[in-house]
Structure 1
Amino acid sequence: MIGLWDTTGNEVVKALAAERRSAGGVASGMALTLIVVVDEKRVREAEAAATIAAAAHPCRLLVVVRSDVERDRNRLDAEIVVGGRLGPCEAVVTRMYGRLALHAESVVMPLLVPDVPVVTWWHGEPPAEIATDFLGVVADRRITDAAQAADPVEALRQRARDYVPGDTDLAWTRITLWRTLVAGAFDTTEAQVTDATVVAPRTDPTAALMRGWLAARLGIDPRWQHTDQHPRMHEVQLRCANGDELTLTRDDSMAIFRRTGQEDRHLPLVRRPLGDELAEELRRLDADQVYAEALGAAAGLTGLDQRPAQRVHVWKDPAEAQRAEAGITAHSGTSGQVPA
């Protein structure tokens, strides 16, 4: 590992090139560049997940940690790891302080691997509009996690409003096994589903996407039965036109599949590590139309997959918003009224 403290972007590029040469040209086998945006307190967690994903998808890992934007003095610290604790990939962990943190692209752009796709993953709550963040605009794929938001279901609605082909969310990845088991139940029957119920907490984004997926695939309006007895989605119930009922119930790391007239079946339904979920999303670098349809159905929007794939960067200075808010507060303190 090479540590560079209070350095510059040019020095990071030079140090990475030198380390790559000494390691034997690791970059020749890179399939993509993975940009990870994360808070300082969760860096190790994000690194562990990215290490698992990089084992399946050789990549250059760029970890962006933004801190203390209000600091008067800009500072850049960096760690460069090639084939070390972060697995077989090349990794650069950058910590940006002061106004530099608002211009992460000035450090990230020279570090991108030429001619390979770019994926940005926010391990935390992403910007309300990914288009306002350059790290989202430069990416071919953008991975968010609605579960990290204060209101996960509303965060999914925001992802739908802000959706552009290439976006995805780890809440969608977490129902891959659910969708596989539900779809597999119809391998031996052609009965039409007329009604469905999803049993889950009201704040579970996976349940919202499951309802959206069932609605988009089956043309029905699934009910959401809220429960406080289970921390995440617990059951999916389907009713068919021929009178059959199918139920898939989570039981720890297993699922119990029940169908009218048949014996219960026990099927694996394991909650995977974060790194495995991330690796699944890195398998595809094109737009996920099925996700777009499910997200649109969950949010009550249509035509998400028909939107232009190109994003336009709109930079916003958070300091301006803070100054505006401070001005409003000062004005209200003087007059007793907040201007319209």
Structure 2
Amino acid sequence: MISLWDTDGESVTHALASERRSAGGVASGLALSLVVVVDEKRIRDAEAAATIAAAAHPCRIIIVARYDVKTEQSRLDAEIVVGGRLGPCEAVVMRMRGRLALHAESVVMPLLAPDVPVVTWWHMVPPDRIAHDPLGVVADRRITDAGQSPDPVAALRTRADDYAPGDTDLAWTRTTPWRTLIAGAFDAFQGPIEAVCVRAPENDPSGVLLAGWMKARLGVTPTLESASTLSGVRVTLGGGVDVELEAQRDNTAILRRPGLPDRILPLSGRALGDELAEELRRLDPDQPYAAALSAATGATGLDQRTPVRVHVWHDPALAERPEAVYAQ
């Protein structure tokens, strides 16, 4: 590992190239560049998750933590790891302070692996508009997490308003086990759907997105039944026949179907790194997510929006001092 204190972008780029040569170019077959935007308190969590994801998708990991963007004095500290604690990949952890943090792309872009896609993941509350963050504008795929927001359901509406093809959210990824079981439950049944009920907390974005997915797929608006966790789905078929999935405490779910014995199915939680790895499997627009987000929030035409974003300059210091805007 190489540590660079109070350095600059050029020195970081040269140090990464030097460390790669010393390690024998261990990451010559990179599939993508993963840019992680994170708060300082979550850096270790982000490193652990990115390491798990990189085991399945070899990538160059660039972790960016930004501080005190309103202060004039800038500083860049960096750690470079090649084949070290973050597994058999290349990683750069950078802490940017001051006005440099508003121009993070000037340091990050020279570090991107050549000729491979770029994925940006916010392991924190993302900007309301991705175009305000240049690290999102340069990405081919953008991963947010509504669960990180103080109001997760309102965050879904924000994501819908700002959606562009290539966006996705880990709250959606967490519904994958449920969607898999629900789809399998209908293998033995056909006919009209009369009602759908999802049991989940009112502020659970995964429950809201799961309900949106079922609305988009079945054409029926689900009702939400309050619960402490996302714990069950009930579908009422024609004639009042219910098919129900109910989560158990032992990482399983019970599937109840009329005329058939109950089935015990696996429904285990996943580590953050496994959720991230799932999203890195595909870099094309996630159309099922767009449909679920549209159905859940009422936003329309998400798939028709342009996937290309243009950076919109946003300065938090000027936002707090509007008179400075008019003085320019």
Normalising by the smaller structure, the TM-score range is over 0.9
1:239 to 226, 236, 239: 236
Tell me which residue corresponds to 1:102: 102
Is the Cα contact below 8 Å between 1:60 and 1:91 reproduced in 2? yes
1:251 to 248, 251, 260: 248
1:278 to 261, 276, 279: 276
Identity %: 66
SS of aligned partner of 1:266: strand
Is the Cα contact below 8 Å between 2:145 and 2:170 reproduced in 1? yes
2:292 to 285, 291, 294: 294
Alignment of structure 1 residues 61-76 onto 2, 5 Å: 61-76=61-76
Tell me which residue corresponds to 2:266: 268
| 1:242 to partner: Cα distance | 4.1
Counterpart CA distance in 2 for 1:226 and 1:62 is 39
Is the Cα contact below 8 Å between 1:132 and 1:315 reproduced in 2? yes
With the length of structure 1 as denominator, give the TM-score of the two structures: 0.93
Question: 1:279 is matched by which residue type in structure 2?
Answer: A
Structure 1 segments, 4+ long, off by >4 Å, are none
Flag structure 2 segments of 5+ consecutive residues without an equivalent.
Answer: none
Is the Cα contact below 8 Å between 2:66 and 2:101 reproduced in 1? yes
Alignment of structure 1 residues 6-155 onto 2, 5 Å: 6-155=6-155
Question: 1:105 is matched by which residue type in structure 2?
Answer: E
**Structure 1 stretch 249-258 or stretch 40-49: which is displaced more?**
249-258
SS of aligned partner of 2:318: helix
Counterpart CA distance in 1 for 2:294 and 2:302 is 6
Q: What is the count of residue pairs matched by the alignment?
A: 324
Q: Say if 2:17 is the partner of 1:2.
A: no
Tell me which residue corresponds to 1:338: none
Q: Say if 2:219 is the partner of 1:208.
A: no
Tell me which residue corresponds to 1:337: none
Counterpart CA distance in 1 for 2:100 and 2:302 is 34
Counterpart CA distance in 1 for 2:72 and 2:222 is 53
Is the Cα contact below 8 Å between 2:200 and 2:230 reproduced in 1? yes
Counterpart CA distance in 2 for 1:119 and 1:216 is 27
Counterpart CA distance in 2 for 1:302 and 1:27 is 42
2:320 to 316, 322, 328: 322
Question: 1:245 is matched by which residue type in structure 2?
Answer: D
Is the Cα contact below 8 Å between 2:27 and 2:88 reproduced in 1? no
Is the Cα contact below 8 Å between 2:318 and 2:324 reproduced in 1? no
Counterpart CA distance in 2 for 1:326 and 1:316 is 13
Is the Cα contact below 8 Å between 1:191 and 1:242 reproduced in 2? no
Counterpart CA distance in 2 for 1:61 and 1:210 is 30
SS of aligned partner of 2:28: helix
Is the Cα contact below 8 Å between 1:143 and 1:168 reproduced in 2? yes
Question: 2:166 is matched by which residue type in structure 1?
Answer: G
Question: 2:141 is matched by which residue type in structure 1?
Answer: R
